[in-house]
Structure 1
Amino acid sequence: MLLSNPHAVRRPYPADLAAIMNIESAKQSQRWLAPWRELARAATPLHALPDLAGKLQVGAIHVKDESVRSPLGSFKALGAPVALVRQVLRLYPAQDIVPEQVLAGRYAHLLQDYTVISATDGNHGRSLAAAARSAGCQCVIVLHAHVSAEREAAIAAYGARIVRITGNYDESVTVAAELARTNDWQVISDTSYEGYQDIPRDVMQGYGTIAAELVEQGAGPDGKSAYTHIFLQGGVGGLAAGIVSYFWELYGINRPRFIVVEPAQADCLYQSALHGRASRALGSIDSVMAGLACGETSPLAWRFLQPAVDYFLTIEDELAIQAMRVLAAGSEADIPIVAGESGVAGLAGLLSMCSNKVCMKQVGLDASSKVLVINTEGATAATVYHELLGISAHAVLAQQNSWKDRHHE
């Protein structure tokens, strides 16, 4: 279901938002994370998909592939770690802390009794656990009932203590906050709530690294974007806010059109646009798009999304699985890509739009459109990936390597 956002504006990036998130801080986060051993040294690839663009009757489609950002398998490797670094700087203002060396373990002697905690659907918790191990502090992760045993094992492998609850994601957020208060632990989350804003801001700011790389890879100079449309995943709104804020500040009134996509049963951002305020989802929350199965919008993220996102779109799970298949299959001109269930939401939204001529016209998609989507995760649950597609991620990677050999990449 598509909703045109009546609150979207086209004006220069507001000063009050720039005081919270800005390009300068995003680039600072990028520099601080660069030495971390859990991150790839190079920018993640930006792939053109000309065959798919022709099939969907748009000018161009590019996909930024975050599946290879890190052994952690997702864009979340940019959020929790930089938030932890910034928190260490706040903890020890009198110390001469070198930000680039926090995740190298230089300050482990200061942090050995410090504990961070977060709720997660999988990827954020894994990234926080990895960052905590690198920095030398303790980590507790709260998992809700729908997080798979495979994702739990991936988090525990980084030394985190796991707390299981029977409820959903939003209930796990509440439990994490309660445990933090009781034990004097620190929540590191991209979900904001009353009295908890700075760290979610830091997490979202970390995601600006993706936008910074896109600009370096040809997203366009100041004032003119190479993309007419950017499709972004929903969730609580953290990723979308991090990307939207960067492109809005850079391009001002010439910013691309932003379309945010989320599961129909976890439509908190769609409901927020309907009501004009950060709201809750109406559905069951449970979705195959596990990383987007969030029931409540982050109020801080909503401050950026309400004035900047042009359309909010909800999709069914089957469309996400279809998008996974499209990327995995590739074509003669389009490289095969391993994309997880949540990673394909933006592309799934594009597929949905392009299956309906009325919707295409409404959002301005045509043969001149230059579309960007972000594959935010790989097969972070390899068993689930195989079950959904009937092919393993390893097999798709083999096809990708064969494609690269044929195209001399």
Structure 2
Amino acid sequence: MSNTSELILLTNPLARREAPWTAAQDAILNDAGFARAKATITAWPGYAPTPLASLGGIAAVSGIGALYYKDEASRFGLGSFKALGGAYAVWRVLCDTAAEKGISPDDREAFTAHARTLTVTCATDGNHGRSVAWGAQTFGCNCVIFIHATVSEGRKREIERYGARIVRSAGNYDDSVHEAQVTADREGWIVVSDTSYEGYTDIPKDVMQGYELMAAEAIGQWPEAGPPTHIFLQTGVGGLAAAVAAQYWRRYGADRPMIVLVDPLQSACWLESIRAGQPTAVKGDLDTLMAGLACGEISALAWEILRHCADAVVGLSDDAAVDGMRMLAEGRHGDAPLVAGESAVAGLMALVAAAADPEARVTLQLDIGSRVLVFGTEGATDPGLYREIVGRSPEAIRERLA
């Protein structure tokens, strides 16, 4: 294990590059499920692949060959990759429950009437709840979103824009997950969560299948002669990381990129799970600036996929995230300016920190031949906080590109 002032790095002793894609993993994420998600989402109004931006300046100062940033700030106008998962899972819920009553989506009148009878709910740090609320508004069902004590008022207002009723819970994210499930059981609502737990796995699979579209887009956009050698992936509960890893694992097998997970130090549930060799919860308020990653318990489904293909995990400080937001906004090192939220830069800054540390470079096999992919998972989803951190509004950053 490497431990510097900037990062903690732990390799995964369970990682096996030769490990095959198993039947158990295929029951979670598979080509047929992805094809269905892709066909559905790409048919929605406003769909367009998000850009894959080259960060050649950062690559040069980091001593690697190439660095690309999948910029999710424009996804469906919601500002994050979560638009691919939550809304798609809402659609699947409506289709599945309608089918139980013999109703087809093609029967628009009956399907619309059915949707009005349903209420979907979830707990969120912000972006997933916005996607679920947008999906509910788009497809015509009711929505109640639970947020925990430290979710900002700005993110609360953004969710409310899509017609959801908000319930603020005491405690941390995991407490709000519990309250959402208990309330849903009592009220007859349907939980549309991006994390899985005992007795609740089917809907998170749909969420993750939606996320896979982002990874598939990146594969299609990749401009280098060979695939990425490394992918740095922020974690949270792990659904995003598992979806991206699954797409590359199924596509490339043993030739897949090295997968490096990235946790905020204040909510390092994947770091502790990799350390223990089994899912391990972390307690406390989990109060990290990287709000979308403030989770104390990993997803069981994500663990099934990542335990053998996540090669390492990094613990990252909030200060590093702040520097990453400012670095992208400034266009530091000659790269085009980008608007990135607090959780968007975790993978990027883990790469920057690891590349600057001699021991970490060796451990992660980072060198001038490395081709690295990171996912900028959100734009300025809380514009007020973004201005406070960066010193300029997201609009001012975008105007520099006009």
TM-score by length of 1: 0.92
Q: Could you give the per-residue CA deviations for residues 159-179 of structure 1, whole angstroms, max 9, x where no partner exists? A: 101111121100000000010
1:112 corresponding residue in structure 2:
116
Match of 2:128 in 1: 124
**Counterpart pick for 1:85 among 80, 91, 94:** 91
2:153 maps to what in 1? 149
- 1:406 corresponds in structure 2 to none
1:14 corresponds to which residue?
22
Find 2:37's aligned residue among 24, 29, 33: 29
State whether residues 188 and 199 of structure 1, in contact with CA within 8 Å, keep that contact through their aligned partners in structure 2.
yes
Deviation at 1:214, TM superposition (A): 1.3
Q: 1:105 to 1:244 in 2, by over 3 A?
A: farther
Superposed CA deviations along residues 281-315 of structure 1, whole A, max 9, x for unmatched, are 25641100000011111111111111110001101
Secondary structure, counterpart of 1:36 in structure 2? coil
Amino acid at match of 2:182: E
Deviations 1:213-251 (A, max 9, x none): 11211378xxx9510000001100010011011100110
CA drift at 1:41: 2.9
SS at match of 1:67: coil
Distance 1:8 1:332, change over 3 A: closer
Runs (4+) of structure 1 exceeding 6 A deviation are: none
User: Would you say 1:2 and 2:3 are equivalent positions?
Assistant: no
SS in 2 for 1:310: strand
In 2: Cα distance, 1:389 partner to 1:303 partner: 38
For structure 1, list consecutive stretches of 5 or more residues without a partner in the other structure.
Answer: 402-409
Q: Which amino acid aligns with 1:229?
A: H
CA separation in 1, counterparts of 2:176 and 2:367?
42
Distance in 2, Cα, partners of 1:263 & 1:217: 29
> Given the alignment of the two structures, is residue 70 of structure 1 paired with residue 79 of structure 2, yes or no?
no
Secondary structure of 1:53's aligned partner: helix
Which structure 2 residues correspond to residues 186-205 of structure 1 after superposition, within 5 A? 186-205=190-209
Match of 1:300 in 2: 301
> Distance between the aligned counterparts of 2:110 and 2:255, measured in 1?
43
**Against the structure 1 CA distance between its residues 4 and 106, is the aligned structure 2 distance closer, same or farther, given a 3 Å change threshold?**
farther
- Name the amino acid aligned to 1:310: D
Q: Secondary structure at the match of 2:308?
A: helix
In structure 1, distance between residues paired with 2:277 and 2:113:
47
Shift of 1:274: 1.1
- Larger deviation, residues 364-373 vs 87-96: 87-96
Q: Which residue of 2 aligns with 1:44?
A: 50
Residue deviations 1:38-96 (CA, integer Å, cap 9, x gap): xx432100011111111111000000001111211100000011111222222122536
Q: Kindly indicate whether the alpha-carbon contact (under 8 Å) linking 2:58 and 2:333 is maintained by their aligned counterparts in 1.
A: no
Q: Kindly indicate whether residue 134 of structure 2 is the aligned counterpart of residue 139 of structure 1.
A: no
Deviations 1:126-182 (A, max 9, x none): 110010011110000001011111111111111101111121100000000010010
8 A contact 1:247–1:255 mirrored in 2: yes
Equivalence for 1:358? 359
**In the TM superposition, what is the alpha-carbon distance from 1:261 to its structure 2 partner?**
0.4
Q: CA deviation at 1:105?
A: 9.1
Q: Distance in 1 between matches of 2:98 and 2:133?
A: 21
* Percentage of pairs with the same residue: 44
* 2:345 aligned with 1:344: yes
Distance 1:105 1:217, change over 3 A: farther
Taking structure 1 as reference, are residues 283 and 60 closer, same or farther at Cα in structure 2, changes over 3 Å only? farther
Asked if the contact 2:103/2:111 (under 8 Å) is kept, the reply is no
Q: 1:296 and 1:61 mapped to 2: Cα distance?
A: 30
Q: Equivalent residue for 1:317?
A: 318
Q: Which amino acid aligns with 2:12?
A: N
Aligned to 1:55: 61
For structure 2, the residue ranges without an aligned partner over 5 or more in a row are 1-7
* Match of residue 172 from structure 2: 168
Q: CA RMSD in A?
A: 1.8
Q: Is the 8 A contact 2:236 2:294 kept in 1?
A: yes
Aligned length: 393
Partner of 2:243: 242
Describe the shift of the 1:372–1:105 C-alpha distance in structure 2 as closer, same or farther (beyond 3 A).
farther
Higher mean alpha-carbon deviation, 332-341 vs 181-190, is at 332-341
User: How far off is 1:15 after superposition?
Assistant: 2.6
Match of 2:273 in 1: 272
Change (3 A) 1:26 1:381: same
SS of the residue corresponding to residue 278 of structure 1 reads coil
Report the TM-score when normalising by structure 2: 0.94
Q: Is 1:214 matched with 2:208?
A: no
Deviates more, 1:366-375 or 1:267-276: 267-276
> Paired residue for 1:180, among 173, 178, 184?
184
